[in-house]
């Protein structure tokens, strides 16, 4: 594609939760100089001109931005479809009504489990009750509701109950997304990666739920990369369909690319269009010419694009290597050993390193 159709606008990395699987950057202090309202308005205008159709407002917790309603209104005026990705802490009825009037199209609320004590323990703060209450407000105001649950060793056995909860709150869509091992999640990988038996059991439950709910609720189930024969396609191809703008204005082809040793590109220094077309962070792995073997000669190179560049870098130290998840990768043993260790331990309550709270004040 010549232009992106999706923008992930990470408005802030501040968050009231302390989830141990968070994939946001570890160096949060580097992102405290957040874009001002006028800067986000310009970013949205440039994104629309570039061809972006969807705008996902995320973080951290985007509700911590006092100017969120104004940002939503700007996106709506530009004709962008807007999706709020939120913990729902701070989504009071008055705030929700303001966002509805501003033109917000969709709400995605995360929950950590189906049972209050378990959910609150994983989230690192009492939050379950407020999440359920916010889901009710979302449905009452007529929004489509997606319930997102990050799955891992400590909650995947509850997937049937999680699906029951999504059904009870009237979700239109539920995302059961196994943990992606970036940021804080990588540090907690040993305590989060589920066993093969857990995954097999969950897949049976999900398959039955899809059949039972097919006319009422979409059920998306994402396997953990480490158990796949082939790697996931990197955002549909590096800098091909999506772009991310971080709280301080850095532009990336995906949310995890801040970890790569590539030159920085910022909307504070250049236009979004020029960054998309010319910045090294966007062109480094675009297409297939950069690929080494075995990717270069593989008939799947246009399907999975060599896998995840960020995962390749964090596991091998070289972002150009074949993603070690792939069974054809010369580095596949790095993943195989991790999987072997996960299956040698049947405990589901391994200790987690809690991610530090970084809520901060609301700002614009």
Contact 139, 170 (CB under 8 A): yes
For 259, 311, 329, the CA distances from 321, given in Å and listed in that order, are 15, 10, 8
Contact 306, 291 (CB under 8 A): yes
The answer to whether the CB of 1 falls within 8 A of the CB of 169 is: no
Any known ligand binding at 22? yes
Q: Is 298 annotated as a binding residue?
A: no
Q: Determine how many CB atoms are found less than 10 A away from the CB of residue 192.
A: 26
**Quick one: how far is CA 217 from the chain centroid?**
21
The torsion angle over the Cα atoms of residues 243, 262, 183 and 48, rounded to 10 degrees, is -10
Instruction: Report residue 107: phi and psi, to 5°.
Output: -130, 130
- Give the pair of three-digit tokens for residue 58: 């995320």
- Is 73 strand, coil or helix? helix
Q: Where are the beta strands (DSSP E) in the chain?
A: 6-10, 54-58, 81-86, 106-110, 145-151, 173-178, 218-222, 242-245, 251-252
Strands (DSSP E) found in 22-137: 54-58, 81-86, 106-110
Rounded to whole angstroms, how far apart are CA atoms 340 and 331? 15
Is 19 assigned a ligand-binding role in the annotation?
A: yes
Contacts of 177 (CB under 8 A, 6+ apart): 148, 149, 150, 151, 220, 222
CA distance 172 to 176: 13
Q: Which residues are annotated as a binding site for [4Fe-4S] cluster?
A: 15, 19, 22
Binding residues: 15, 19, 22
């Amino acid at each position: 594609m010549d232009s992106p159709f999706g923008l992930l606008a990470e408005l802030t990395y501040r968050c009231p939760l302390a989830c141990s699987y968070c994939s946001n950057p570890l160096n949060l202090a580097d992102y405290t100089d957040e874009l001002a309202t006028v800067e986000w308005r310009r970013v949205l205008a440039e994104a629309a001109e570039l061809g972006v159709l969807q705008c996902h407002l995320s973080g951290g917790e985007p509700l911590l931005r006092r100017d969120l309603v104004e940002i939503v209104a700007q996106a709506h005026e530009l004709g962008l479809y807007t999706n709020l990705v939120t913990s729902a802490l701070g989504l009071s009825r008055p705030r929700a009504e303001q966002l509805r009037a501003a033109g917000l199209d969709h709400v995605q609320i995360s929950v950590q489990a189906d049972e209050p004590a378990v959910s609150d323990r994983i989230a690192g703060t009492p939050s379950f009750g407020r999440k359920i209450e916010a889901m009710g407000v979302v449905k009452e105001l007529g929004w489509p509701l997606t319930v997102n649950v990050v799955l891992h060793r400590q909650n995947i056995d509850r997937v049937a109950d999680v699906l029951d909860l999504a059904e009870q709150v009237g979700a239109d869509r539920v995302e059961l997304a196994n943990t992606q091992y970036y940021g804080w999640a990588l540090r907690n990988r040993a305590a989060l990666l589920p066993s093969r038996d857990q995954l097999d059991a969950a897949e049976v439950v999900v398959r039955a739920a899809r059949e039972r709910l097919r006319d009422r609720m979409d059920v998306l189930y994402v396997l953990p990369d480490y158990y796949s024969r082939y790697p996931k396609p990197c955002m549909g191809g590096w800098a091909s369909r999506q772009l991310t703008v971080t709280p301080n204005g850095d532009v990336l082809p995906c949310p995890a690319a801040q970890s790569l040793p590539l030159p920085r590109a910022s909307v504070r220094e250049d236009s979004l269009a020029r960054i998309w077309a010319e910045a090294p962070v966007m062109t480094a792995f675009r297409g297939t010419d950069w690929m080494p073997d075995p990717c270069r000669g593989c008939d799947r190179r246009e399907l999975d694009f060599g896998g995840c560049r960020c995962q390749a870098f964090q596991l091998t130290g070289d972002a150009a290597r074949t993603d070690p998840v792939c069974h054809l990768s010369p580095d596949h043993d790095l993943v195989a050993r991790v999987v072997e260790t996960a299956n040698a331990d049947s405990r589901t309550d391994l200790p987690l390193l809690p991610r530090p709270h970084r809520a901060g004040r609301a700002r614009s």
